[in-house]
Structure 1
């Protein structure tokens, strides 16, 4: 019998798609601190859907039987607390599952800006008929900050509609999904060339606060920012200043330094900003797909095969 523990947020229902687990699995679901403290020392495998409460870090036991922790997200920054990160426990994530949905969100945001959809909706609300010329996106330049799995899917989709897409990664490399991939040190010069800047990078010590006043000042005047990575990569106050002085023509934001975004936050009032509630990759049926992805990986683990989406420390 293998003990699998599912850590869920209080408002969550049980993750669908787990019905494919073998009969030899004892699945337990916990949603509060007392239950987690009681169950965690006996679990061999932990599936985490609750990333925002910090509950796992608070309850991490000095002694446990855990061999594998699976995050039902592409990013694992919420699991980077030292006790887990420094342990021998294998960590996997949901890499790949949300790539297409996020890429489609980015394409939609690019088209929204190019065709002035926000302007159309404002005029419609006031019943104003106002003809304007809009932009073509063909041959416009996109900088994707974070040339990993998600960034590569974004590049594939944007290049398919005729855009020029350059990626940014830790080191320069050849990647057929992009027109070029430059090292992260090239950020200032690449920002100056891009009509659209798309953030798909994970949150790390290197990316936290990466988009500050200096980065926005380096951007091409009139460029647009699309953030589908992590909110803390962008200094929100610096972004507001860039929008207000007209350095940026707009921003599409799916992630924020503080979530939910407070009702009185000035970003809500910006006429050239689109806000969504950390949902860029969430498609109909995504929760079941997460469960099924874990089951597929569990069967590999049970058979002694290499796990998919293993997170490498370092």
Structure 2
């Protein structure tokens, strides 16, 4: 008797190297029709060409393909309004492209029976290294006074020695969240001699963190932090966790980095703190509203690095996600728990 196969429908741009990984798994039957999916513009692009539009006949063909599937990879256009579309009656598993895919599922407005029937997973872990490297960049840029150096360069000024840069050795770094990203941030920083404090709502341990505190103690922990790094997803519990009070508790001149989700930080309070230089520097890859509105004062502040939610991007991302899909497909077929399963109560 032949082994059961999983019918995996593709609902997001899929490059050739990732497709090859999926087709190499004999237990996956790939349902992939490239003409029904927008072409990828660049590696790790999960939206595709902006002017792509299906004809009515193609829309019907796409829905027919989804109706045959046991599992689906991706949400069309990363649009919450499209979440229900991929949750057909035959689907048992939906894999999202993002590490924070829970927020997309949570915004999809699915009923309780659908949330119970279907397993949802994220690509958590795939993006940990590039995001950790961006976090390291942000901390170093703040500590090494990069905005000040750029201003002096623009003015062609060779000043007398001023304030000394802040070294990483012995620096006190507060890392919010000890998931895949937070642990990689902790590992890199501790290797460079930083004193890392992590936060977790659970009894989480991290071999690279000197201490782990509950978020209820965030103001206390912030008061002793030279830099604060956010790696948390967007949930009801994390919204504005970095509040005005937490920002005020930071020592003057502290550095803030966000590689989690924009809603975790009270952006208005952070902007004011940057303008007053209470926060000396911020490296932000995510924002409360994306794209960042043109009227946002963050665009023009010299002590802010604005990254367009692109710190996750790397040329290996699509292949790594495909390898994760194969791993979870085997587990689903074997009746084993899926890796990175999304909590459909808190959606992370």
TM-score (ref. length: structure 1): 0.89
Query: Which residue of the partner structure matches residue 19 of structure 2?
Result: 18
Q: Does 1:71 align with 2:96?
A: yes
Report the secondary structure of 2:72's partner residue. strand
Q: Give the one of 200, 214, 237 matched to 2:231.
A: 200
Report the secondary structure of 2:245's partner residue. helix
Report the secondary structure of 2:117's partner residue. coil
CA offset digits 1:61-105 (Å, max 9, x no partner): 6x6111111112211211123426633211222121111111111
CA distance in 2 between counterparts of 1:309 and 1:58 reads 20
Q: Give the one of 17, 26, 45 matched to 2:71.
A: 45
Q: Does 1:56 align with 2:82?
A: yes
Query: Which residue of the partner structure matches residue 87 of structure 1?
Result: 116
Query: Which residue of the partner structure matches residue 98 of structure 1?
Result: 127
Give RMSD over aligned pairs.
Answer: 2.4
| Count of aligned positions | 310
Q: 1:94 to 1:229 in 2, by over 3 A?
A: same
Shift of 1:158: 0.5
Query: Which residue of the partner structure matches residue 269 of structure 2?
Result: 238
CA distance in 2 between counterparts of 1:7 and 1:37 reads 10
CA offset digits 1:271-299 (Å, max 9, x no partner): 10011111222222222222232123323
Report the secondary structure of 1:215's partner residue. helix
Q: 1:60 to 1:292 in 2, by over 3 A?
A: closer
Query: Which residue of the partner structure matches residue 333 of structure 2?
Result: 302
TM-score (ref. length: structure 2): 0.81
CA offset digits 1:100-136 (Å, max 9, x no partner): 1111111111111111122222322333223443221
How do 1:278-297 and structure 2 match up within 5 A?
A: 278-297=309-328
Report the secondary structure of 2:152's partner residue. helix
Q: 1:45 to 1:100 in 2, by over 3 A?
A: same
Q: Does 1:126 align with 2:130?
A: no
Report the secondary structure of 2:318's partner residue. helix
CA distance in 2 between counterparts of 1:119 and 1:66 reads 54
How do 1:256-267 and structure 2 match up within 5 A?
A: 256-267=287-298
CA distance in 1 between counterparts of 2:304 and 2:63 reads 42
